[in-house]
Structure 1
């Protein structure tokens, strides 16, 4: 026989923590957060620049010496010296050099000289009073202190300029040697 139910007793002591259950299903993607504050301006003092472009003012420059391109079109960093005709490398790296010459009346043999060696030699074989164009572009790896210039060979000096015809020498830094070190 069952008796009457007694009064509710005092709560028992807290039991031990149970085991961690399995991971639940992934929830829905939340709303896009607000835009963060703008960062501070970066340091652009590491931008390294070197470029020049110069024209010739007198036809038929002397052979086997640097051609003095003395009509400066651009030379903000002053790495090209118009009084010597030489580019002076101040930033080691890869450089692009190009020339575009007007040739008149005789052949032209043009050399790009770097590190005191004729790195590139080209020729335009033109005779008579005809006018033609000679162009060339090359990429060179230079160290600080290296010099680059153009020369013509003896008896192969048809480089010409006039009010309607220019002869131009151009060079610029493609990228400095330490570009990958600064990115690392």
Structure 2
């Protein structure tokens, strides 16, 4: 039994030596083996360096989604909108610088402008014409010649309130009208016929600059005047405005 084992062992050793010798001299081609089992996934590598900025891409002409078109020309100017609500009042601004002093006025100009008065008399026995301006030719007082003895008109240089009054010597019926620039303000009439009497009337009138006032006759015109009894027309400034 032992002998038989030795023979087998020797035979196997001879075969192994033969195979080793043959592998060194002529490599035998064997059949490929079965693929191995895939290994486990490896870990992600480190991030690479940042690349350079690329060129701008061309406009996309696809049909999916809204696309920005070419910029159009400006449209026409629209209508003016409604005015908005007023804002809150702003704070007062800073006071400005004082202006330069004005030029001195003329001496006495202010005092002269605030004075206006006249008293004129009619010293004739002749009646004035019917429906005409009554001219008082004898000057008693006439500041700055505001009353014109040629026309019988008083002209206002100073706007304000004036008072006008007349005292007439009459020997017949008399009606006179006080007029302002041709407009009748009031009438004073005495229809009693007496040999001699005196009648009068007065009125406060507001006058603008360069307006004129005068007395005018109507149908009755029995106004006279003598040295012992003039017919007088007077006016003066009550309050300048």
The answer to whether the superposition gives a TM-score over 0.5 is: yes
Deviation at 1:126, TM superposition (A): 2.7
Counterpart secondary structure, 1:69? coil
In structure 2, list runs of 5 or more residues that go unmatched. 1-106
**Corresponding residue of 1:73:** 140
How far did residue 160 of structure 1 move?
Answer: 1.2
Which structure is higher in strand share? 1
| Deviation per residue, 1:66-114 (Å, 9 max, x gap) | 111000001121100000000011111000100000110x210011111
Q: Is the 8 A contact 2:147 2:154 kept in 1?
A: yes
Q: Gaps spanning 5+ residues in structure 1: where?
A: 1-42, 178-184
1:121 matched to which residue of 2?
Answer: 187
Q: How far 1:46 moved relative to its partner?
A: 2.2
Does 2:234 match 1:170? yes
TM-score by length of 2: 0.52
Deviating beyond 3 angstroms after TM superposition, the runs of 4 or more aligned structure 1 residues are none
Aligned pairs for 1:6-155 within 5 A: 45-47=109-111, 48-58=114-124, 59-104=126-171, 106-127=172-193, 130-154=195-219
Aligned residue pairs total 132
Report Cα offsets for 1:4-47 as digits up to 9, x if no partner.
xxxxxxxxxxxxxxxxxxxxxxxxxxxxxxxxxxxxxxx86423
Q: Is the Cα contact below 8 Å between 2:176 and 2:217 reproduced in 1?
A: yes
Which has the higher Rg, Structure 1 or Structure 2? 2
User: What TM-score do you get using the length of structure 1 for normalisation?
Assistant: 0.68
Structure of higher RCO (CA pairs closer than 8 Å, 6+ residues apart):
1
Q: Distance in 2 between matches of 1:55 and 1:158?
A: 15
Cα deviations by residue, 1:112-168 (Å, 9 ceiling, x for unpaired): 11121110101011325x1111111111000011110001112x0110112221100
Please provide the CA RMSD for this pair.
Answer: 1.4
3-state DSSP of counterpart to 2:145: coil
- SS of 2:144 mapped into structure 1: coil
